[in-house]
Amino acid sequence: MEEIKTPKRPIIYYMLIVVVAMLILNLFVMPRLMNRQFEETSYSEFLDMLENGKIKEVEIQEKQILFMDKSDPARYYVTGIMDDPDLINRLDAAGVTFTATIEQEASPWMTLLLGYVVPLLIFMVVGRLLMNSLMKRMGGEGLGGNMLTFGKSNAKIYVQSTDGIRFSDVAGEDEAKELLSEIVDYLHNPGRYAEIGANIPKGALLVGPPGTGKTLLAKAVAGEANVPFFSISGSDFVEMFVGMGAAKVRDLFKQANEKAPCIIFIDEIDTIGKKRDGLSGIGGNDEREQTLNQLLSEMDGFNASKGVIILGATNRPDSLDPALLRPGRFDRRIPVELPDLQGRVDILKVHAKKVKMGDNVDFDAIARMAVGASGAELANMINEAALRAVRAGRRFVTQADLEESVEVVIAGYQKKNAILSDKEKRIVAYHEIGHALVAALQSHSAPVTKITIIPRTSGALGYTMQVDEDEHNLMSKEEIENKIATLTGGRIAEDLIFHSITTGASNDIEQATKLARAMVTRFGMTEEFGMVALETVSNQYLGGDASLACSPDTSTAIDKKVIEVVRTQYEKAENLLKTHMKELNGLANYLYDHETITGDEFMGLLEQMKVPAEPAAAAEPTSAAAETTAPAEQTESKTE
């Protein structure tokens, strides 16, 4: 292999440099350093010093006199010799010692040490460091095991709970915890499983959207299991040079085998486990494929009875190579889904333990508001609330802090000094009341809980929040249709009142289109297409990219149908609003004045204003039944 040879040449260069440097050092630098430096003085100066008794030792040579200062023995002087017959007497009189030689050179041992040994040691240390970094970049194997740390997996080893995270720190996710505790249990007493002859899975894959606690769960497993825990991220395997990632995988499993029973955790495994696409050779796929192949063969190569269990985590399970998912490898799939209502309450409570909470806090209400929030977002909400309490100079967190923090996480911070012109503010008020009114006038719509026209940093100029009373996992056709109608309400209100339309509805349009499209292509809710999947969704945990799976003709028909679905709902909503213009005006003015109103205020005002004899007011009482799955609040992003 080419890349194995390359590092040898730098070694030769380095050695050459060392030899040259040593030569220079010993031929030129050392003699100067080692020889004492003699200051040149005049003969008269010498005599002066001699008379004043400042000289300690003297050496008379053929052409010069070397002498040593008495007060400062490190100072040497040299002076030319003069024809001075009295010299000996003078020296005698001054009581100066004669020596044959004032040592000019340090001892030979010293020379050897300073000239060769020390520099050589320095060069060796520097060389080692250089080689180290070189190896890291070069990659490849075969330079011999003692070749420094190259190819090491860099896996962090947690032995027991280093950061003290236990299963109790992970709220909700009971199924995942149950499956994982089985693994922990196996590692604690493998004998019980062996007795029956049960095989413990070799690998388990934690799958779910970002921020749902996959990494957290793995850490909790490390905390619960009394075994070494190797943790490494998939991206750590991605290297510039072919073969390097594979070497790391090999090393990781070697280490793990030595430490068995143990757990290997590979986070973000999709970085190395992506489907092999047969396009190798083009670009950098070679490296990734080699790494994956190595991982596959290592997973096959060891015997689970030894007690090495592999955990993986990913939010892109559909992009994983099928070979990775077959039985005997990651044969257990542990879904880590977004928390349900109870899960959200529990997660809020877990994180609330770390901050001081007021007595009035109702976690249930907060959890209801935070539909669709992940564990990470909920943790963030608690923290935002704590920050808000500090800013307000309070010593504990109140319900209002939490409510505001939910909105911060959903819609961004309030833009206190954003300047809306009076006209714009009025338009936004009508827009939001348009949404709220359509929602309130339909059955199967989540009740409105808050309407606000205070701009947020996310770009929303206002929003209407709807919160369900119960958790629902299914959404009926009527609910989706009503939701689309509600989404169109904002634009309709603008149009009805101001006879002009704005960019403010762009986000509504996007959401409505998505829903209508899904009705047609994925939910089988139209007569024309029936129960046919016309789109496939990939990346379901990361927003979901839908790709069409039908002929171009069908695709055109789908587009037509989508437009029709939205238009029908638009007309329905328009009729509702047209027959409730009085309410629309009254409520919008009220919102304009108050900027934020609660759902109760809204419903109260609506009841007061309702014209009893309106025949077209097809408003059944707002029922408790309502939608979910999709986030129940709408945010208006306004392009600016």
Residue (of 309, 308, 312) closest to 336 by Cα position: 312
Closer residue to ligand ADP (CB): 222 or 347: 347
Closer residue to ligand ADP (CB): 173 or 224: 173
For 187, phi then psi, to 5°, come to -65, -30
Do 61 and 146 meet the contact criterion of CB atoms below 8 Å apart? no
Ranges within 199-218 binding Mg ion (CB under 5 A): 215
The item of Mg ion, Zn ion, ligand ADP, none sharing an interface with residue 289, based on CB under 5 to 8 Å by kind, is none
C-alpha 288 chain-centroid distance: 21
Ranges within 460-499 binding Zn ion (CB under 5 A): 490
> Cα separation of 369 and 354, whole Å?
21
Element (H, E) at 407: helix 399-411
Closer residue to ligand ADP (CB): 352 or 588: 352
Task: State the Cα torsion 6-7-12-15 to the nearest 10°.
Answer: 160
Non-local CB neighbours of 434 within 8 Å, separated by 6+ positions: 489, 490, 491, 492, 493, 494, 577, 584
Closer residue to Mg ion (CB): 215 or 634: 215
Mask 462-491, x = binds ligand ADP (CB under 6 A)? ------------------------------
The item of Mg ion, Zn ion, ligand ADP, none sharing an interface with residue 210, based on CB under 5 to 8 Å by kind, is ligand ADP
Closer residue to ligand ADP (CB): 353 or 416: 353
The reply to whether 271 sits near Mg ion by the rule CB under 5 A is: no
Residue (of 318, 326, 249, 246) closest to 286 by Cα position: 246
The reply to whether 233 sits near Mg ion by the rule CB under 5 A is: no
Total residues in contact with Mg ion, by rule CB under 5 A: 1
User: Rg (Cα) of the chain, in Å, rounded?
Assistant: 40
Q: Which of 407, 432, 479, 574 is catalytic?
A: 432
Interface pick for ligand ADP out of 59, 76, 187, 215 (rule CB under 6 A): 215
Structure tokens at 433: 């009341």
Smallest separation, CB 440 to Zn ion (Å): 15
> Cα separation of 270 and 12, whole Å?
41
Mask 184-213, x = binds ligand ADP (CB under 6 A)? --------------------------xxxx
Residue nearest to ligand ADP (CB): 375
Residue (of 370, 567, 602, 603) closest to 484 by Cα position: 567
Closer residue to ligand ADP (CB): 350 or 485: 350
* 432: annotated active-site residue: yes
Non-local CB neighbours of 381 within 8 Å, separated by 6+ positions: 348, 366, 370, 373, 402, 405, 406, 408, 409
The item of Zn ion, Mg ion, ligand ADP, none sharing an interface with residue 216, based on CB under 5 to 8 Å by kind, is ligand ADP
Task: State the Cα torsion 204-205-208-213 to the nearest 10°.
Answer: 60
Ranges within 506-535 binding Zn ion (CB under 5 A): 508
Do 482 and 442 meet the contact criterion of CB atoms below 8 Å apart? yes
Do 269 and 262 meet the contact criterion of CB atoms below 8 Å apart? no
Mask 309-348, x = binds ligand ADP (CB under 6 A)? ----x---------------------------------x-
Interface pick for ligand ADP out of 49, 138, 216, 436 (rule CB under 6 A): 216
> Cα separation of 609 and 589, whole Å?
13
Smallest separation, CB 354 to ligand ADP (Å): 10
In degrees, rounded to 5, the angle at the alpha carbon of residue 602 between the alpha carbons of residues 600 and 606 is 115
First to last CA, the chain: 57
The reply to whether 405 sits near ligand ADP by the rule CB under 6 A is: no
Closer residue to ligand ADP (CB): 209 or 447: 209
Closer residue to Mg ion (CB): 215 or 637: 215
The item of Zn ion, Mg ion, ligand ADP, none sharing an interface with residue 367, based on CB under 5 to 8 Å by kind, is none
The reply to whether 409 sits near ligand ADP by the rule CB under 6 A is: no
Total residues in contact with ligand ADP, by rule CB under 6 A: 17
Positions touching Mg ion (CB under 5 A) are 215
Positions touching ligand ADP (CB under 6 A) are 170-173, 210-216, 313, 347, 350, 375-376, 379
Catalytic residue IDs: 432
Positions touching Zn ion (CB under 5 A) are 490, 508, 636
